[in-house]
């Protein structure tokens, strides 16, 4: 793994600006909704954005009504209870929710691996999680540690491939938001996933985010008119799957790639099952201009639409980011 391109990129990339954009809000609010709900916390978000202080990232309670609107096959969240698609598996799902609720009685321990400038770390800490953040890039870690009104978050500079500073079976929730974007071989991706699973308690959850192939091809290839150059340079294969290397910074995947990584981890002896898989941003990155032009009521409606559809199989691989939620057995 060549760290220099990643460090150089994030030393100049304005991560805060992206996170505070409307499309960034969609990604953040969606992921946090699932983190809170599946870990046994209330799913209702009351966040308001504050560009002055990333430790105070809350959004107005009207912006997200996270009853994932029912549409026959969609899961429904009502009165703190979650039912799975259809009738099949509802008892099992409720049992898992009850386990999550029991864990919520004690302080939930969360590891934020690839924490960036601390957006999720501080949001979860404000919700009462006991948070440990690990970040590779020193610049990002400095921003995380220097925020005003900083909450008590344990932080380390470290690499997702080697979390030796964190003990086995220590965390109820582990976030792997970012590292998979920059790992190019199956071997490295499996290694990062295994490290995340190692530090997670049995019964705990690992949230793993990936950046998706089709968004890249549609936006960079076709909309930005780079498609012919990409084909000539063999940056895409005949199926239009990206062919990347560390010099490209990002590794793009399809759903079958995620399944392959999970399969390899299972073959190596790991024991887990998929709890959920969802699109963190859905169509948001395709309609950035339109999102910026929305008033608050329109944006609330968009969030309700997105939360109602972000698990639909026909939409999962189309957004910019997909989050795979695994439960360690």
**10-residue averages of pLDDT along the chain (329 residues):** 59 64 93 94 49 38 37 30 34 48 67 94 93 93 82 93 97 96 94 98 98 96 95 94 85 97 98 98 96 96 97 95 98
pLDDT of residue 247: 76
pLDDT of residue 56: 38
pLDDT of residue 82: 29
With tokens 């024991």, the residue in question is: 271
What is the rounded (10 degree) CA torsion for 222, 226, 229, 231?
-30
Residue 4, both tokens: 């220099």
pLDDT of residue 67: 36
For the chain, the domains span 4-328
Q: Do 94 and 82 touch, CB atoms closer than 8 A?
A: yes
pLDDT of residue 57: 39
pLDDT of residue 65: 38
Q: Do 219 and 319 touch, CB atoms closer than 8 A?
A: no
Please tell me the CATH superfamily of domain 4-328, with its number.
Answer: Vaccinia Virus protein VP39 (3.40.50.150)
Q: Tell me how far CA of residue 312 lies from CA of 70, 94, 225, 282, in angstroms.
A: 12, 21, 29, 10
pLDDT of residue 5: 59
- Helical residues (DSSP H) of the chain, grouped into ranges: 4-12, 15-19, 22-38, 90-104, 119-126, 138-145, 186-199, 213-216, 227-232, 255-267, 288-293, 296-309
Q: How far apart are CA 43 and CA 147, in angstroms?
A: 26
């Amino acid at each position: 793994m060549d760290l220099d391109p990643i460090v150089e990129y994030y030393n100049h990339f304005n991560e805060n600006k992206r996170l505070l954009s409307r499309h960034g809000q969609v990604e953040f609010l969606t992921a946090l909704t699932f983190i809170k709900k599946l870990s046994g916390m209330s799913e209702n978000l009351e966040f308001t954005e504050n560009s002055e202080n990333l430790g105070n990232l809350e959004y107005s309670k009207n912006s997200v009504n996270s009853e994932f609107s029912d549409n026959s096959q969609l899961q429904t969240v009502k009165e703190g209870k979650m039912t799975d698609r259809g009738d099949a598996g509802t008892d099992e799902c409720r049992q898992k929710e009850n386990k999550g609720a029991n864990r919520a009685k004690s302080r939930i321990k969360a590891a934020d691996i690839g924490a960036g400038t601390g957006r999720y770390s501080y949001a979860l800490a404000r919700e009462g999680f006991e948070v440990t953040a690990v970040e590779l890039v020193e610049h990002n870690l400095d921003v995380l540690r220097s925020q005003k009104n900083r909450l008590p978050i344990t932080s380390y500079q470290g690499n997702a491939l080697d979390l030796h500073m964190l003990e086995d079976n220590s965390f109820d929730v582990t976030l792997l938001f970012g590292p998979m974007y920059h790992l190019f071989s199956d071997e490295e991706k499996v290694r990062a996933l295994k490290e995340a699973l190692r530090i997670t308690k049995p019964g705990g959850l690992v949230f793993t985010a990936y950046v998706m192939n089709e968004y890249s091809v549609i936006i960079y290839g076709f909309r930005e008119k780079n498609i012919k150059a990409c084909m000539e340079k063999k940056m895409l294969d005949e199926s239009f799957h990206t062919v990347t290397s560390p010099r490209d910074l990002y590794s793009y995947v399809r759903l079958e790639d995620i399944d392959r990584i999970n399969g390899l981890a299972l073959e190596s002896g790991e024991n887990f099952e998929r709890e959920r898989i969802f699109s963190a941003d859905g169509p948001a990155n395709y309609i950035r201009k339109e999102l910026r032009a929305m008033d608050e009521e329109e944006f609330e409606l968009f969030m309700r639409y997105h939360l109602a559809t972000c698990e639909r199989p026909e939409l999962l691989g189309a957004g910019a980011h997909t989050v795979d939620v695994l439960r360690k057995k």
